Amino acid sequence: ILRNAILERKLLPGTKISLLAISRELGVSRTPTRLAVQRLATEGLIIMMPNQAPRVAKPSVKNIEDVFYMRSLLEPAAASLAARFATAAELKKLETAIEQGYLAFKSRNLLDFLNNNTKIHYLVADMSRNEALKDTIKQFLDKSTIILSLFDPFYSYSEQEEYVSYQEDLAILEAIRLKDSKLAAKRMKKHILRAFKDLPLDSLDEVTRSFPRLK
């Protein structure tokens, strides 16, 4: 319940978490509530500090830029390799995930949308046949999913705007299916950078950044 409340943005980034209030709402003792909060902390959704109330995570602009910068380097490489090694069965799975993601958007189901978005990128990483690359990508995808769950302008997107993302996913699929490694890498990088630029980072009110906005 707490996880869904964060992912559905009923609890905003930086919000203090009251263990007592949650325990009362769920009708359980503080012990299972504390354990649930600790699990969410390991996922990166909650920040726990000594002698302070837990808070919903609020990634810094630098952290967000770092994650998307790494994704913009790693995932095009995976897409390039996927164009060499992907099987027909894997391409079908990728196509299904893309279609399900678009349906999740149209029904305005953020949790399903994020799950399918992550699945799409996991599938491409799997197709690379490079275990080290795949494992590293998955680490950054997990971080990225948290960022998107907190800040992605999901509910403010028009259907036409989300259609752009859907078309980008299909374009990546097409390049992989054509076994065009350079095109697959180019389209994946464009897709990741567009997703980054759509994030409302100015709302975080940070003056300093690690480097100029990704381009």
pLDDT tens digits, one per residue of 5-18: 887 778 888 899 88
* Residues 147, 66 share a domain: yes
User: Is residue 118 domain-shared with residue 184, that is, in the same domain?
Assistant: yes
How much is the pTM?
0.81
| Same domain assignment for residues 78 and 16 | no
Assess whether 130 and 199 both reside in one domain: yes
153 in helix, strand or coil?
coil
Specify whether 195 is located in the same domain as 108. yes
Residue 209 in any domain: the answer is no
The pLDDT-based confidence of 177 (bands split at 50, 70, 90) is: very high
Look at residue 213 and tell me if it is in a domain.
no
- Kindly report the backbone phi and psi dihedral angles of residue 201, in degrees, each rounded to the nearest multiple of 5, phi listed first: -65, -25
Burial class (CB in 10 A: 0-12, 13-18, 19+), 56: buried
In a domain, 11, yes or no: yes
The reply to whether 50 and 70 lie within a common domain is no
Residues 30, 113, single domain; the answer is no
| Distance of alpha carbon 104 from alpha carbon 112, whole angstroms | 6
Q: Which of 37, 56, 75 is the last residue of a domain?
A: 56
Q: Strand pairing partners for 47?
A: 55
Q: Which domain holds residue 23?
A: 2-56
Query: Last residue of some domain: 35, 56, 77?
Result: 56
Using CA atoms, how far apart are residues 139 and 214, in angstroms rounded to an integer?
20
Angle at 208 between CA 205 and CA 211, to 5 degrees: 125
Mean pLDDT of 112-125: 95
In CATH, what number is assigned to the domain containing residue 73? 1.20.120.530
Into how many domains does the chain fold? 2
pLDDT of residue 211: 42
Going from the C-alpha of 102 to that of each of 141, 168, 185, the distances in angstroms are: 19, 12, 22
| 83 shares a domain with 14 | no
Tell me, yes or no, whether 20 and 92 share the same domain. Answer: no
The separation between the first and the last C-alpha atoms of the chain, rounded to the nearest angstrom, is: 38
Residue 175 lies in a domain: yes
Q: How many residues does the chain have?
A: 215
| Element spanning 14, H or E | none
Q: Are residues 136 and 197 in the same domain?
A: yes
Name the CA radius of gyration of the chain, rounded.
Answer: 18
Residue 69 CB contacts under 8 Å (≥ 6 apart), including other chains: 214
Instruction: State the average pLDDT over residues 186-214.
Output: 75
Shared-domain flag, residues 132 and 76:
yes
Q: What pLDDT shows up at residue 214?
A: 57
Domain check: are 154 and 175 in the same one?
yes
Q: Which amino acid is at 76?
A: P
Average pLDDT over every residue of 93-119: 93
